[in-house]
Structure 1
Amino acid sequence: MTTDRIYNYVIIEDNPVMQKGLAYILRRFDNLVLKGQYYNIESAREPLTKIQPDLILLDIILTGLNGDKGCAQLKKDLFKTPKIIAYTNASFNKKELIKMGFDGYVHKNEPVDTLISVISDVLDGTSSFEASKDTVATKEHYSYNESKAPREFQIMAMAVMGKTNKEIGDQLHISIETVKKSRQNFKTKANLRDKSMYGIREYLEKEHGYRFGENGFVKTDEND
Structure 2
Amino acid sequence: MHALSPCSVIIIDDHPLFRKGVSQLLALNDELHLIGEASSGEEGLELARALEPDLILLDLNMKGMNGIETLKALREADLAARILIITVSDAADDLVSAIRAGADGYLLKDMEPEELLERIVQAQRGRIVISERLNGLLARSLRDEAQAAERSIAPLTDREKDILACLASGLSNKLIARDLNIAEGTVKVHIKNMLKKLKFRSRLEAAVWAIDQNMRNHLPQGRNTGI
Aligned length: 132
Report the counterpart of residue 38 of structure 1 in structure 2: 38
Corresponding letter in the other structure for 2:90:
S
Describe the shift of the 1:132–1:82 C-alpha distance in structure 2 as closer, same or farther (beyond 3 A): farther
Structure 1 unpaired stretches of 5+:
136-224
Partner of 1:6: 6
Q: How far apart are residue 53 of structure 1 and its match?
A: 0.5
Residues 26 and 32 in structure 1, CA contact (< 8 A), matched pair in contact too = yes
| TM-score (ref. length: structure 2) | 0.53
3-state SS in 1 of match to 2:132 = coil
Alignment of 1:42-191 (within 5 A): 42-77=42-77, 79-93=78-92, 95-131=96-132, 133=134, 134=137
User: Do 2:38 and 2:47's aligned partners in 1 also have CA atoms closer than 8 Å?
Assistant: no
CA contact (8 A) 2:60 2:67 kept: yes
SS at match of 2:127: coil
Shift of 1:132: 5.2
In structure 2, what is the Cα distance between the partners aligned to 1:132 and 1:5? 33
SS of 2:56 mapped into structure 1 = strand
Q: 1:109 to 1:50 in 2, by over 3 A?
A: same
Aligned letter for 1:81?
A: A
Contact 2:9 2:54 in 1 (8 A): yes
Q: 1:105: Cα distance to partner?
A: 1.4
CA distance in 2, matches of 1:24, 1:42: 24
Q: Tell me the TM-score normalised to structure 1 length.
A: 0.54
Q: Where does residue 222 of structure 2 map in the other structure?
A: none
- Report SS of the residue matched to 2:68: helix
Alpha-carbon separation, structure 2, partners of 1:13 and 1:122: 18
% same residue:
27
Structure 1 residues 120 and 16, CA, compared in 2 at 3 Å: closer, same or farther?
same
Do the aligned partners of 1:10 and 1:57 also contact (CA within 8 Å) in 2? yes
C-alpha separation in 1, matches of 2:29 and 2:85: 20
- In proportion to residue count, which structure has more helix? 2
Secondary structure of the structure 2 residue equivalent to 1:118:
helix
Q: Conserved in 1, the CA contact under 8 Å of 2:31 and 2:121?
A: no
